[in-house]
Amino acid sequence: MMKLFEKILNPREIRRKLGLNQQEFWTQIGVTQSGGSRYESGRNMPKPVRELLRLVHVEQLDLSRVKKEDFEVIDFLKSQHPDLYKSIKKAIRNKAKEA
């Protein structure tokens, strides 16, 4: 995986590496093809769009599966049971390496 910072700065490169056309790539995050084209040409991308791009295309997060409660559970674990949170996070990383 390329450096996250580098990917966010170059949406065209991310899109090409994923093998998607502009329509496929940009509509997944609620941006029109023409709007996405402007971002790929250097127009300043608003922070919410950059974050959606990062979550969907860099982190490969399926937003339709995310619920507010998931974030509440994460926050609870981080604050109330940090060792358990770290242990779960480590187990997930190890599982990903095995795959």
Give 15-49 pLDDT, tens digit per residue: 999 999 999 999 999 999 999 999 999 999 999 99
Q: Which amino acid is at 16?
A: R
CA distance 69 to 63: 13
How many angstroms separate the CA atoms of 20 and 46, rounded? Answer: 22
What single-letter DSSP state applies at residue 91? H
Delimit the domains of the chain by residue range: 4-64, 68-98
In b/e form, how buried is each residue of 29-68, taking b as 16+ CB within 10 angstroms? Answer: bebeeeebeebbeeeebeeebbebbbebbeeeeeeeeeee
Confidence of residue 95 (pLDDT cuts 50, 70, 90): confident
Domain with residues 4-64, CATH architecture: Orthogonal Bundle (1.10)
Q: 4 pLDDT exceeds 90?
A: no
